[in-house]
Amino acid sequence: MYIGILIIIICKMKKLIYLLAFGWAVISCQGTKEVTSKILLSPIKYNNTITAEELKTHLYIVAADSMQGRQTGSIGQKKAGKYLISQYQKERIPFPKGAQNYYQHVPAAFLNANRNGNLPDTENIWAYIEGSEKPDEIIVISAHYDHVGTKDDAIFNGADDDGSGTVALLEIAQAFQLAKKEGHGPKRSILFLHVTAEEHGLHGSRYYTENPLFPLQNTVANINIDMIGRRDDAHPDSNNYVYLIGADRLSSELDQISKTVNEKYVQLNLDFRYNALNDPNNFYRRSDHYNFAKNNIPSVFIFNGVHADYHRKTDTPDKIEYDALTKRAQLAFNIAWELANRENRIVVDQK
């Protein structure tokens, strides 16, 4: 066959293909507007990938004796950090755009400036899933991975504080990554932030908010998870509860979303007693979300309350209630899912 004729045929076919493609695009454009506004993809499938079994596997490693209580800047903490990074690499979840690696270096001088202490250099650890539609808008999910180390040869494993939040982040990230792989990635970006030096005064989160990788004005919300694997004395008969703190302080929408997704997907009893402005425990200022909140970023703190093993060597992984840990991690996931995928960024409407 003469090559010229072939070209003409191809040209004609191209025209036809363009016409067909254009027609389809018009049809599909008309269709999608309606569809997306009506059907927001359900998170249930991905929610269900957050399992007690996987949380347990991670937690027995993160809170193992070999991590030596994860004291800020210690070999044990660094080892735990390496495990976290290995899990992100395994899931092919990258470090954030603009970073050189999975670490945000936090210098000793910063840690010791206020209290004249003797803490060594340490690291926040971060991973990132870029949003498909509004990549510049960031949801930060945080949990501290440091704990208080050892004392008189006793290892303070910190399984609940905050091994539980640490492993929840791994599972939440895995769920979002699977969704992304299947074409349902979050519309806004998500930063998974394992902060350091919380036990010495929320230093890691303070360092991040003073040296943010993404502008704070583009940071939509912070979901902070600290101690979600146990129950406290106020709930002797059931672990099917969680304390929510701070959600309504800056954004009525964050408060509403937390309640709605809980009702829909998780059904924990939400306990707001520690959210009272005059609560003497002052938990609102006692974990990492506070550094975001004080920068006017809507923040919610997910927490199970304190218990007899709090900051003792007896905070071990065998005492964790993995069913409760799973549901609380799922709540954090569902709040993040809604924040990341809803049409409008949540508003700051409270002072």
The 10 Å Cβ neighbour count of residue 21 is: 10
Closest CB to Zn ion among 87 and 287? 287
Closest CB to Zn ion among 156 and 176? 156
Question: Number of residues in contact with Zn ion, rule: CB under 5 A?
Answer: 1
Element (H, E) at 148: none
Residue 161 CB, nearest distance to Zn ion (Å)?
4
Element (H, E) at 336: helix 322-341
Closest CB to Zn ion among 161 and 288? 161
Residue 158 CB, nearest distance to Zn ion (Å)?
7
* Residue 161 makes contact with Zn ion by CB under 5 A: yes
Question: Considering only 127-135, 153-161, 202-210, 328-336, which stretch makes contact with Zn ion by CB under 5 A?
Answer: 153-161
Residue 281 CB, nearest distance to Zn ion (Å)?
13
Closest CB to Zn ion among 161 and 309? 161
DSSP-based three-state secondary structure for 57: helix
Residue 49 CB, nearest distance to Zn ion (Å)?
28
268/241 Cα distance (integer angstroms): 5
Q: In the block, which residue shows the tokens 């389809």?
A: 24
Question: Considering only 107-115, 156-164, 269-277, 330-338, which stretch makes contact with Zn ion by CB under 5 A?
Answer: 156-164
Closest CB to Zn ion among 232 and 253? 232
128/96 Cα distance (integer angstroms): 5
Half-sphere exposure of 267 (CA within 13 A, CB side): 2
Chain residue at closest Cβ approach to Zn ion: 161
Residue 165 CB, nearest distance to Zn ion (Å)?
10
**Mask of contacts with Zn ion, 111-150, x by CB under 5 A?**
----------------------------------------
252/150 Cα distance (integer angstroms): 42
Write the CB contacts of 298 (distance below 8 Å, at least 6 apart in sequence). Answer: 220, 221, 222, 247, 249, 250, 251, 253, 254, 346, 348
Decide if 32 contacts 133 (C-beta within 8 A). no
DSSP-based three-state secondary structure for 99: coil
Closest CB to Zn ion among 202 and 266? 202
81/164 Cα distance (integer angstroms): 14
Closest CB to Zn ion among 128 and 303? 303
How is residue 174 written in tokens? 């895995």
Residue 144 CB, nearest distance to Zn ion (Å)?
8
Site residues (CB under 5 A) for Zn ion?
161
